[in-house]
Amino acid sequence: MARVFNFSAGPAMVPEAVIQKARDEMLDWQGSGMSVMEMSHRGKEFMSIAEKAEADLRELMAIPANYKVLFLQGGASSQFAMVPMNLLRGKTGADYINTGAWSKKAIAEAKRYCEVNIAGEGDGSNVPAQNALQLSADAAYVHFTPNETIGGVEFPYLPETGDVPLVADMSSTILSRPMDVSKYGVIYAGAQKNIGPAGLTVVIVRDDLIGETIAGTPSMFSYQTHVDTDSMYNTPPTYGWYLAGLVFEWLKEKGGLAGMAAINERKAGKLYAAIDNSDFYANPVALDCRSLMNIPFTLANADLDATFLAEAKEIGLVTLKGHRSVGGMRASIYNAMPEEGVDALVSFMADFEKRNG
Ligand SMILES: *Cc1c(COP(=O)(O)O)cnc(C)c1O
């Protein structure tokens, strides 16, 4: 059996050590005689798994005590609605910074519930500067997408919003490096990029923002519902929660988020260098807004795209096709992508250029 290096944007690679541990525990979790997927979410075995996962995530991200951590379903896409439903709190509008495809989806959904002020926009290859942001004084919150997964555009700075809560869709950047949680009102992320399997959504929310929802909010869409029940109002995504916990343990062994950041910077640095040091490959993103996690690149001759993808696949480098809206290639190199995967891609790119450039 040969595992490939999978550059998918999501669902994406999970650390091999985590999958092996899950395999070893698959039929009988620690003497319980059952698989985690067969356990009652209210039994003591699963409760211990759930509590450890939350404790490890809190430790990794240094989440302050006045923040709740929720393990939900519905993906980041449900948060596009849950954020306005829970955070408007009597206000009528919110500020959104638009830096690409995922910002646009968040904005479209928010418009169903409130007035949306576009506080700043990128051009697809950059983000607006802090001093170009037009924040409204009475905004309920400011929403932004720290890393645009499709465009490969990342904020090089943290927007300063004064007393207005900052909300971040961190789906493709959470856990990639240390970050100061206390600067945010809400952080949310679908798990399938940098946390674990699809089906789990992690929400980190400051406790003063919980408790008031707009009229008609379904119980399942109220943060308070999930806070009151430790994310067990209904059956949570137990197996995804367990696997996320294994990933958190793996991250702690890897030196935590500071350790990951160093590895991630090295990996991205190698790939950007390979692109920049050639006339054959190009990345369209402004230098200071380049993503550490998702690296789109084009070939000088787009007629070679299909050959590039086919030859890469032959040697176990898969899912490099760029998003249909962007074209070209995209290499997503989340925490679980080993550095050897990036090295293999870089050397294939050089070889391909030599033969076709
Ligand atoms: C993948 C992604 C989403 C969508 O996540 P789902 O969990 O599929 O709803 C939203 N935002 C960003 C930044 C993403 O990368």
Q: Any residues with CB less than 8 A from the CB of 253 and at least 6 apart, and which?
A: none
CA–CA separation, 114 and 110 (whole Å): 6
Q: Which of 8, 172, 292, 323 has the most ligand 1 atoms within 8 A of CB, as the residue to mutate?
A: 172
Tell me the two tokens of residue 18: 């985590």
Å from CA of 75 to ligand 1 middle: 7
pTM of the model: 0.98
Contact 87, 223 (CB under 8 A): no
Catalytic annotation, pick one of 29, 56, 68, 102: 102
Query: Does the C-beta of 109 come closer than 6 Å to ligand 1?
Result: no
Q: Output the CA 277–ligand 1 centroid distance in Å.
A: 32
Q: Which of 171, 203, 292 to mutate to test the pocket of ligand 1 (most atoms within 8 A of CB)?
A: 171
Report residue 171 as tokens: 């789906």
Q: Is the CB of 79 under 6 A from ligand 1?
A: no
The strand pairing partners of 111, in sequence order, are none
Token pair, residue 256, equals: 């935590």
Instruction: Kindly tell me if the per-residue pLDDT of 1 is higher than 70.
Output: no
Ligand 1 atom showing the smallest separation from residue 148 Cα: 13
Choice among 169, 241, 267, 321 that is catalytic: 169
H/E run at residue 46: helix 44-61
124 burial (CB, 10 Å; 0-12 / 13-18 / 19+) is middle
| Residue 141 CA to ligand 1 centre (angstroms) | 20
> Is 105 annotated as catalytic?
no
- Give the distance (Å) from ligand 1 centre to CA of residue 33: 36
Is the minimum distance from the CB of 145 to ligand 1 under 6 angstroms? yes
Of the pLDDT bands very low, low, confident and very high (cuts 50, 70, 90), residue 200 is: very high
> Among 239-248, 324-333, 346-355, which is the least confidently predicted range?
324-333
For residues 90-108, give the mean pLDDT.
Answer: 98
Q: Determine whether the shortest distance from the Cβ of 357 to ligand 1 is under 6 A.
A: no
Tracing tokens 């009988």 back to the chain, one arrives at 28
The pLDDT score that the predictor gives to residue 244 is 98
169 flagged as catalytic: yes
Q: Which helix (H) or strand (E) holds 18?
A: helix 16-24
- Strands in 115-121's sheet, in edge-to-edge order, are 67-72, 201-206, 186-190, 166-169, 142-144, 93-98, 115-121
Give me the mean pLDDT over the 104-115 stretch: 98
d(CA 32, CA 20): 19
Q: Whose CA is nearest to atom 7 of ligand 1?
A: 75
**Which residue type is seen at 122?**
G
Which of 105, 127, 169 to mutate for ligand 1's pocket (most ligand atoms within 8 Å of CB)?
169
Q: Which domains does the chain have, with CATH numbers?
A: 16-253 (3.40.640.10), 255-356 (3.90.1150.10)
- Give Cα 176 to chain centroid, integer Å: 9
Task: Give the residue among 206, 86, 83, 201 at the shortest CA–CA distance from 143.
Answer: 83
Residue 146: cis peptide before it, omega within 30 degrees of 0:
no
Exposed/middle/buried for 345, CB within 10 Å: 0-12, 13-18, 19+?
A: buried
Rounded to the nearest angstrom, the gap between the alpha carbon of residue 237 and the centroid of all alpha carbons in its chain is 18
pLDDT digits (tens, 9 = 90+) for 251-287: 999 999 999 999 999 999 999 999 999 999 999 999 9
Q: Give per-residue pLDDT as tens, 42-65.
A: 999 999 999 999 999 999 999 999
CA distance 78 to 44: 29
Please confirm, yes or no, whether 102 is among the known catalytic residues.
yes
The rounded distance, in Å, linking the Cα atoms of 233 and 58 is 21
Q: Identify the pLDDT of residue 2.
A: 87
Q: Does ligand 1 come within 6 angstroms of the Cβ of 238? A: no
Q: What region, left, alpha or beta, does residue 219 occupy, with left being phi > 0 and alpha being psi -120 to 50 degrees?
A: alpha
Please, what is the end-to-end C-alpha distance for the chain in angstroms?
A: 34
Task: Indicate the top mutation candidate among 149, 202, 325 to test ligand 1's pocket, ranked by most ligand atoms within 8 A of CB.
Answer: 149
CA 340 – ligand 1 centroid, Å:
27
| d(CA 190, ligand 1 centre) in Å | 6
Convert the pLDDT of each residue in 159-197 to its tens digit. 999 999 999 999 999 999 999 999 999 999 999 999 999
